[in-house]
Amino acid sequence: MNTLVLIKQVPDTEAKINVVGGKISEAGIKWTISPYDEIALEEAIRIKEKSGGTVTAIAVGDDSVQNALRSAFAMGADIAIHVKVENYQMLDSFGIAKAIASAIEGADYKVILAGRQGADSDNGQVPYILGTLKGWPVVPFAKKVEVSADKATIVCEAEGGEATYEASLPVIITANAGLNEPRYPSLKGIMASKKKPIESKTADISAETKIEVLGFEPPPARPAGRIIDGADAAEKARALVKALREEIKVI
Amino acid sequence: MPKILAVGEISNGVLKKASRETTSVGKRLGGAVDAILLGSGASAGVAELAKHGADTVYVGEISPYNGEAYAKAVVDVVKSKGYDIIILPHSWIGRDISARIATALNTGVISDATEISLEGDRVKIRKPVYSGKAFVNLKLKTSPQVVTIRPNAHPISEAAGAGKAETITVDASSAKAKEVKFEAKGGTRVPLTEADIVVSGGRGIKGPENFPLIEQLADLLGAGVGATRAVVDAGWCDHTLQIGQTGLTVSPTLYIAVGISGAIQHMAGMGSSKYIVAINKDPDAPIFKVATYGIVDDLFQVVPPLKEELKAALGR
């Protein structure tokens, strides 16, 4: 059972994001595998441990994304594919999906896993675009995955509850928080990851992009708030209710 | 004027708030808007959407929900009737079908708009990225334009529409993924993403035995109940209540954070709330930096009198 994991490299969630001249300044940013993709990778490794096969990690971007692929090796990926593109733009879901689709043409993956959304764009579009281009089913927000020879059963978070899906293979599954707890790479894994070859491919997606990025902005400053004073907790509670009723009139 | 299709949501004949939002936004952008409602008891929502300006409302029964069939039904309507702009809620369903629809129409999708406007015939949106640490302004280069809007972040407006129902068929028989079981969760409270007020508990509540404090406060206000990742991971409440980067994004008018320090991952899920109240005994907690009103005190001392004050003020 060969699996493919879509890996996106994103700024560490603790990273400070600075906007300079309408662009994101990359100075000082520490990059990492998007946290949901790490959960997807862990699930692929578990499928391999149970049913055999290989785990392939694929990432689209400039040469820097090879770091994310090395981390994927360290966790347990067998094969890594770097799809090198010019003018990578993290919001260009269609271009990224097209690059992946062309890179995996002819390969035989039964399960394709990805995080439910990238921690940069928060879009969650690439799995659907890839699925629609390839004619593969997409099941999102997985909390539990079971794969047999000819189908996958997925329990996922759905509108108003929890849904169980059955899907034919190949299937694209997006990982939700809580699907598993990603392992820490072993020292041996980290050492070995440095020597493994990364397969390199190129894709020209310049004609594929469907979005126009007009510019980034820092978040607007929230209007200054105030600390409610009072002699004791009860007095503060009373003052708060008064403020909610009379100042901002929300209750 | 562009031809606009607003995608709504309905379940058991009950219209979701998001339906009113997409129709209102469509009316505001385009002057004329049609809507599509797929779900159990869909025709019950037609008259209501007409009050927000919908002219034709395409209705179809689909039960259980199926993303492939749903997307195909919308694509068929767009292709046969010719729409320029398709507006969906950035809800669970909207996330599940928007990129499928866009790709089938060989166009792109821009999602989770917190602001939306029309420049010429092009939709321009603003959306948060990097967990709300920056915003980006986006347009699509291709047509039709598919866009999702953040629930609870756009005003609902009244306008008279024709409200003409047109029934369409939704066929899930050839879908490659099918729902075989559904278990409802979340109980009787207002859904978090639709709630005007959300009361949320953090690690400061100390244990599961104190989570009812949060629920009681919420019930007094008719509010939704949320929690931080720490509370969910500790098993003090159901994970469907988690607000933050790895949970739900909410945009209520009022967000009451009880015993929440305000980690960046949590702020990513509630930073677009209009007003924020923080109750925390640590004066240095980051949540106070974004709070409209802050109470620096022990939550166990504050919440009981707060409940009494609210009961008195609201006459409950």
Q: What is the pLDDT of residues B141-180, one digit of tens each?
A: 999 999 999 999 999 999 999 999 999 999 999 999 999 9
Per-residue model confidence (pLDDT) at position B270: 96
Q: Which of A34, A100, A128 to mutate to test the interface with B (most CBs of B within 10 A)?
A: A128
- Domain ranges for chain B, please list them: 4-167, 192-314
Average pLDDT of the residues in B285-312: 97
- What's the gap in Å between the CA of A232 and the closest CA on chain B? 9
Minimal Cβ distance to B178: which of A35, A166, A232: A166
Q: What is the pLDDT of residues B72-122, one digit of tens each?
A: 999 999 999 999 999 999 999 999 999 999 999 999 999 999 999 999 999
- Residue A24 at interface with chain B, using a CB cutoff of 8 Å: yes
List B residues 25-44 in contact with A (Cβ-Cβ < 8 A).
none
Domains of chain A by start residue, with CATH = 3-202 (3.40.50.620), 225-251 (no CATH)
Per-residue model confidence (pLDDT) at position A85: 95
Average pLDDT of the residues in A147-168: 95
The answer to whether B64 and B93 have CB atoms below 8 angstroms apart is no
Task: Name the residue among A98, A105, A111 with its Cα closest to residue A56.
Answer: A111
* DSSP count for chain A of H helices, then E strands: 6, 15
**CATH 3.40.50.620 fits domain B4-167:** yes
pLDDT exceeds 90 at position A117: yes
- Residue A93 at interface with chain B, using a CB cutoff of 8 Å: yes
Q: What is the pLDDT of residues A50-100, one digit of tens each?
A: 999 999 999 999 999 999 999 999 999 999 999 999 889 999 999 999 999
List B residues 150-209 in contact with A (Cβ-Cβ < 8 A).
175-186, 191, 196-197
What are residue B179's DSSP bridge partners?
A165
Number of CB atoms found within 10 A of residue A63's CB:
10
How far apart CA A212 and CA B140 sit, in angstroms, is 6
Average pLDDT of the residues in A8-17: 93
Q: What is the pLDDT of residues B128-151, one digit of tens each?
A: 999 889 999 999 999 999 999 999
Minimal Cβ distance to A240: which of B138, B186, B295: B295
Q: What is the pLDDT of residues B225-236, one digit of tens each?
A: 999 999 999 999
| Antiparallel, parallel or unpaired: β A23-25 and A18-20 | antiparallel
Per-residue model confidence (pLDDT) at position A113: 98
Q: What is the pLDDT of residues B229-268, one digit of tens each?
A: 999 999 999 888 999 988 899 999 999 999 999 999 899 9
- Chain B contact set for A244 (CB, 8 A): 254, 277, 293
Per-residue model confidence (pLDDT) at position B55: 98
Average pLDDT of chain B is 95
Q: Two tokens at A229?
A: 């004073």
Percentage, residues of chain B above pLDDT 90: 90
Average pLDDT of chain A is 96
Per-residue model confidence (pLDDT) at position A36: 95
Per-residue model confidence (pLDDT) at position A126: 98
Per-residue model confidence (pLDDT) at position A92: 96
As for the ipTM of the complex, it is 0.95
Per-residue model confidence (pLDDT) at position B191: 87
- Residue A205 at interface with chain B, using a CB cutoff of 8 Å: no
Percentage, residues of chain B above pLDDT 70: 100
A132/B95 touch (CB, cutoff 8 Å), yes or no: no
The answer to whether B33 and B54 have CB atoms below 8 angstroms apart is yes
Topology adopted by domain B192-314: Rossmann fold (3.40.50)
Per-residue model confidence (pLDDT) at position A140: 98
Q: What does residue B21 show for φ and ψ, rounded to 5 degrees?
A: -70, -45
Give burial (CB, 10 Å; 0-12/13-18/19+) of B133.
buried
Model confidence band, residue A159 (pLDDT cutoffs 50, 70, 90): confident
pLDDT exceeds 90 at position B187: no
How far apart CA B29 and CA B26 sit, in angstroms, is 5
- Establish how many alpha carbons lie within 13 A of residue A170's alpha carbon, considering only the half-sphere containing its beta carbon: 22
- Residue B14 at interface with chain A, using a CB cutoff of 8 Å: no
Per-residue model confidence (pLDDT) at position A30: 96
Residues in chain B: 316
Q: Which of A240, A245, A246, A247 to mutate to test the interface with B (most CBs of B within 10 A)?
A: A240
List A residues 54-83 in contact with B (Cβ-Cβ < 8 A).
none
Q: What is the pLDDT of residues B16-30, one digit of tens each?
A: 999 999 999 999 998
CA distances from A149 to A97, A112, A153 (A): 26, 15, 11
What are residue B113's DSSP bridge partners?
B149
B108/A228 touch (CB, cutoff 8 Å), yes or no: no
Amino acid occupying residue A73: F
